[in-house]
Amino acid sequence: MTIIELIKQPWPWYVAGPIIGLMVPTLLIFGNKTFGISSSLRHVCAACLPAKIPFFQYDWKKEIWNLFFVFGVFLGGIVTAFYFKNDAAVVVDPQLITELSAYGIVDFSGLVPSEIFSWASLATPRGFILMVIGGFLVGFGTRYAGGCTSGHAIMGLSNLQLPSLIATISFMAGGFIMANLILPFILSL
Amino acid sequence: MTTNKKDTNTDFEVRSLDAICKNQEAVELPMWHNLKYLAFGVAFGIVLIKSEVISWFRIQEMFRLQSFHMFGVIGSAVAVGALSVFLIKKFKIKSIHGEEIILPEKTFNKGQIYGGLLFGFGWAMTGACPGPMFAQLGYGAIATAVTILMAIVGTWVYGLLREKLPA
């Protein structure tokens, strides 16, 4: 197996996790930056539509490294699609496949189910709720919580911050409630 | 409402949680230095996709406790991150520009609970947190553009309502 073929396979958790963890010291040592991504959304607001809202009145240009980083993540997606793409469907728990097929979700080839996350399904109730309201909650919730999975769960926990532990537990609790109690209802719409 | 820059900065200190990175470099570097962050971002994007942690299906698995994968990724990332931070503090490692590395302390705020729960809902719905959304878009999930746009709208609405929300 060549190296490229090896890279194309899904990476196990014990390879990917430590690499993600190394983002923390890399950013600290190369530029005294704390790892975090959701702030980039705030910088976009401050740059494009501050609208005299105090929360967006700051010099976003001083935080431009964060926008470079996020643009890099986007480019990383393109690079992977061109050079390291694995055409096999994601291997998930058989129980999940059974559960989702009950809602007409049978395409496991992409990162997101094509039956829901497409332009066409934007006009359907479940597509609208998951993309539009879901996206809104990601932006609103992360800013209200003061960080996301990277800023709180990885950076904050690495620095042993109790508020980040509280935030991480809340992320997980919200996810459990949504996935198990509310999502089945939304998917059946 | 009149707000000058000084007031705004004070405001950051009051609610340091949603503060932007405070430990930024004191040295002024030319713009091209930001290209290193672009490179780190590319690496991060590739890892996110190849480890499938930004797969909507993997997120569903995690929240249904059907797989260890996501917990393994986050857990080992935190373990490596925590060891790194410990070593940086212990040996007072400096940045490549010779600056002391300062890690901001976070203070508790109810927003971590309320906002955290709301973000958790959004995470399970979209299968993405803020970083992954950009990687999903780059990988070709074009409709994720809607999710990203709405996340920006959500951030903006938070900024608008911020003073009225319990904190």
Query: Which pair of structure tokens corresponds to residue A185?
Result: 């209802």
Alpha-carbon gap, residue B56 to A135, rounded angstroms: 13
The residue in chain B having the minimum alpha-carbon distance to the alpha carbon of residue A87 is: B50
Amino acid A157 reads L
Region for residue A32 given its phi and psi (left: phi exceeds 0; alpha: psi -120 to 50; beta: otherwise): left
User: What is the pTM assigned to this prediction?
Assistant: 0.91
Residue B58 in contact with residue A92, Cβ under 8 Å? yes
Chain B residues close to A175, C-beta within 8 Å:
59, 62-63, 120-121, 123-124
Q: What is the CA radius of gyration of chain B?
A: 19
Q: How many C-beta atoms surround the C-beta of residue B66 within 10 A? A: 16
Give residue-wise pLDDT tens across range A17-60.
Answer: 999 999 999 999 999 899 999 999 999 999 999 999 999 988 88
ipTM of model: 0.95
pLDDT single digits (tens) A48-94: 999 999 999 888 888 899 999 999 999 999 999 999 998 888 999 99
In B54-164 the beta strands, taken as DSSP E runs, fall at none
* Chain A residues within 8 A of B44 when measuring between CB atoms: 20, 23, 69, 72-73, 76
The pLDDT value recorded for residue B10 is 34
Distance from CA of A158 to the nearest CA of B (A): 4
Q: Which of A30, A32, A90, A98 to mutate to test the interface with B (most CBs of B within 10 A)?
A: A32
| ∠ Cα B39 B45 B50 (to 5°) | 130
Q: Report the first-to-last Cα separation within chain B, whole angstroms.
A: 21
> pLDDT tens digits for A161-177?
999 999 999 999 999 99
